[in-house]
Amino acid sequence: MKSLIVIPSRYASKRFPAKPLHKIAGHTLLSRVVHIAKQVCAMDENVSYVVATDDTRIEDHAKEIGAPVVMTDPELPSGTDRALAAANLFVPDAEFVVNLQGDAPFTPAEHVLAIIKAGETSTADVVTPVLQMPWDALDTMREQKKVQPFSGTSCVRRTDGEAMWFSKNVLPAIRKEEALRDTDALSPVWRHIGLYGYKRDALEHFTALPEGYYEKLEGLEQLRFLENGMRIMTVAVETGPNAMWGVDTQDDAKHAEKLIATHGDPMEGNA
């Protein structure tokens, strides 16, 4: 199966302008994500990657670091639309398209490869990773939501891994939680990681659909698939020491540097 990793990378950001060019421990955010894509390509010869941007400054930087890059329409509404546009420009015959967020520098290459491999065998339209949360991580998530209620996404999934629903609320609600804590090291809550692999025809169908009702309410693109009867397969993964899902603000960038100082730098091969 021919697969393409697309790294959507925008210059404009209300919370963090020029984010892809911001240096974290000596390397730009974009170069860190490109490094992840290169690792995946080294693991599977049928995978290639490209940076998708709408700004010449990011285009120039991508070329500086030796990354293939395509320019996409700045009016595209989402990274998902940008991923399809980039695939059409760069590898028109790609059967599977991975949307690797340009602000996720700690995404393990193994997670990306896992959804590509799952895409080869699954009949679902989309593949995405999830991790089962330990109780302490769930407690942290609940505390974060008191301040930022739309941070963190939970997933309800069937025993075969197919997703039933995603929400910015913590799902499921848990009755008799204390008893579960005494018997199980892991909570029944699965946290969704914002990494997606799409079958090509599913991606084309998705971008032609109007925004879904629940998608708009929750602010979750993946609900458009479920609202339209499309299938999402989840792949269970484990988190690494640099457990950080994305860099959205300057404070996040500072936290990322602290993680690197503590656990090592994946760009330097010592993490």
Each residue's pLDDT expressed in tens, for the chain with a length of 271 residues:
999 999 999 887 777 889 899 999 999 999 999 999 999 999 999 999 999 999 999 999 999 999 999 999 988 888 889 899 999 999 999 999 999 988 888 899 999 999 999 999 999 999 999 999 999 999 998 998 998 898 889 999 999 999 999 999 999 999 999 999 999 999 999 999 989 999 999 999 999 999 999 999 999 999 999 999 999 999 999 876 656 667 878 888 888 898 899 888 888 764 4
Alpha-carbon distance 94 to 83, whole Å?
12
Alpha-carbon distance 255 to 270, whole Å?
18
Say if strands 27-28 and 47-53 run parallel, antiparallel, or are unpaired.
Answer: unpaired
Amino acid at 82: R
Question: What is the token pair recorded at 232?
Answer: 């999402």
pLDDT of residue 266: 84
C-alpha R_g of the chain: 18
pLDDT of residue 270: 47
Alpha-carbon distance 69 to 67, whole Å?
6
Closest CA to 235 of 157, 128, 156: 128
Alpha-carbon distance 240 to 108, whole Å?
8
Alpha-carbon distance 247 to 250, whole Å?
8
Closest CA to 6 of 77, 105, 96: 96
Cis peptide leading into 210, omega within 30 of 0? no
First to last CA, the chain: 31
User: Domains (ranges, CATH) in the chain?
Assistant: 1-105 (3.90.550.10), 109-239 (3.90.550.10)
Q: Are 221 and 126 in contact (CB under 8 A)?
A: no
pLDDT of residue 269: 62
Q: Answer left, alpha or beta for residue 117, where phi above 0 means left and psi between -120 and 50 means alpha.
A: alpha
The residues, ordered by sequence, that sit 6+ positions from 42 with a Cβ below 8 Å of its Cβ are none
Instruction: Estimate to the nearest angstrom the gap between the alpha carbon of 226 and the chain centroid.
Output: 18
